[in-house]
Amino acid sequence: MDLINYLKNNLITDNTKDLTSSKIFLKTAQNAKYAKGIKNYITPKELLNKLNLKTKFIGITGTNGKTTTAFVLSFLLRKLGFSVATQGTEGFFVNGEKKEEKTLTTPPILTTIKRVFNYKPDFFVMEVSSHAIAQNRIEGIDFFAKAFTSFSQDHLDFHKTLNEYKKVKESFLQDEAIKVVAGNRKEEYVEIGGVDFRFNKKNLFVIEKPVVEDIPMAGDFNKMNFSLALKMASLLSKKEIDELKKFIPLFGGVSGRMEIVSKEPLVIVDFAHTPDGMERVLSSIEGEKIVVFGAGGERDRDKRKKMGEVAGKLADYIILTEDNPRCEDKKEICKEISKGIKKAPFEIVLDRKEAIKKGLLLAKRKKASLFVLGKGDEEAIEYCKEKRKFKDKEVIQCLREELGI
């Protein structure tokens, strides 16, 4: 069976509806229940073994920080002369060049295999979501190294309880791969975000405090993301961390992650959409703060009030607005968030553009910093039956021009 030609000619499929007599079926944990009676199949592990690829897989998981850590690590490896593919929330990149747009943070395994096969990089750095771990969308991959960035409440619409979410993340670091974790090492476990995790101790490296202070991105919390990337790059290249630090000032940042869109007034766009993520972002800047944010519809409802509590504690003024409401009522979502706001004044402006406009005008008048949170670099707002083009950064830039700010 010439699997290379099968892959080249798109004759391997993971969709039973696309299967013909000339194609081979890729039987996975996700589609196995639909594959009864199919005899001409191969598993992801078998396919990867047959292809005999030399690429080293690097998996990065965590509630917050996956994208930044993945991009910094990829940047460092490229600076050391390696070819690097990067897959995650922002899309698929090869040596820094975007090749494919955003899909799932961790796509189906056949997509990953095709990308590795087509480009054959030295390293394949991929964000690994908790959904992907639970659904085994990383099936068959023998990871060379893994990183764990952070842990806090998220995705309870899927995992149901924080303990189940924790178990899924914990399961990812039970092998003997190189493991770099941001946390506090205890005798029998690693404490991350106030939760105790037990990992395979072999090849386990715990970063308890930043190894770098001067970074080209806003937010003290990003120092840990950069530190994870530096430690991982050091282990992979056998270079000292101090030797790698010279590349840090050259890093250009990650679109939609603590991105400074304006300096006067200071306007920061970030993907923060969890209580912990918001706390990290809002704590990163001193002075008066205005925040514009909402919460996604048909997702973890339990975190909404907690997001309100964080904003009420750290912001001076809050504007609640839409954020991918999907098929939920965006006004009701904002009301749920508002239940957590105890002290700070707030208002609800359902139209996100109008909310940002109000925030800009207030920031200018009060000489305050404006945070626009939740969507980062996303390019549309998801409603019940459609997606409407909307990118926070572009809207802010247009509004500044319109308002003369």
pLDDT over 70, % of the chain: 98
Between 218 and 122, whose confidence is greater? 122
Q: Do strands 178-182 and 145-148 pair parallel, antiparallel, or not at all (unpaired)?
A: parallel
Average pLDDT, the chain: 95
Cα dihedral: 266, 269, 273, 277 (round 10) = -60
Q: Rounded to 5 degrees, what are φ and ψ at 201?
A: -75, -15
Q: Exposed, middle or buried, 108 (CB in 10 Å: 0-12/13-18/19+)?
A: buried
Place of tokens 């030399």: 54
| CA distances for 38 relative to 2, 17, 24, 25, 126, angstroms | 19, 12, 10, 8, 31
The whole-number pLDDT of residue 181 equals 98
Q: What's the predicted TM-score (pTM) here?
A: 0.88
Tokens of 152: 């806090």
Residue count (the chain): 405
- Give the model confidence (pLDDT) of 376-389 as tens digits: 999 999 999 999 99
Q: What's the average model confidence in pLDDT over 310-324?
A: 98
Q: Do strands 289-293 and 380-382 pair parallel, antiparallel, or not at all (unpaired)?
A: unpaired
- Answer whether 348's CB lies under 8 Å from 338's CB: yes
> Which one, of 321, 355, 357, lies nearest residue 337 by Cα?
321
Instruction: Name residues whose C-beta falls within 8 Å of residue 393's C-beta, 6 or more positions apart in sequence.
Output: 255, 256, 259, 261, 269, 377
- Give the model confidence (pLDDT) of 178-227 as tens digits: 999 999 999 899 999 999 999 999 999 999 999 999 999 988 889 999 99
Q: How many helical (H) and strand (E) elements, i.e. helices and strands, does the chain have?
A: 14, 22
| CA distances for 238 relative to 204, 233, 234, 367, angstroms | 16, 8, 5, 47
SS3 label, residue 353: helix
Q: What is the DSSP string of 107-148?
A: --HHHHHHHHHHH--SEEEEE--HHHHHTTTTTT---SEEEE
Q: What is the DSSP string of 278-328?
A: HHHHHTSS-S-EEEEE---TTS-THHHHHHHHHHHHH-SEEEE--S--BTS
Q: Exposed, middle or buried, 163 (CB in 10 Å: 0-12/13-18/19+)?
A: exposed
For the chain, domains (ranges, CATH) are 3-49 (no CATH), 53-250 (3.40.1190.10), 259-403 (3.90.190.20)
The whole-number pLDDT of residue 127 equals 97
- The vertex-207 CA angle with 230 and 141, nearest 5°, equals 70
Place of tokens 């993971």: 14
- Give the model confidence (pLDDT) of 48-87 as tens digits: 999 999 999 999 999 999 999 999 999 999 999 999 999 9
- Give the model confidence (pLDDT) of 159-177 as tens digits: 678 899 899 999 999 999 9
The whole-number pLDDT of residue 155 equals 60
> What's the CA gap between 254 and 235, in Å, rounded?
23
Instruction: Name residues whose C-beta falls within 8 Å of residue 164's C-beta, 6 or more positions apart in sequence.
Output: none
CB atoms within 10 A of CB 24: 18
The whole-number pLDDT of residue 156 equals 63
3-state secondary structure 45-77: HHHHHHHCCCCEEEEEECCCCHHHHHHHHHHHH
| CA distances for 307 relative to 180, 302, 324, 338, angstroms | 29, 9, 16, 9
The whole-number pLDDT of residue 103 equals 76
* pLDDT beyond 90 at 268: yes
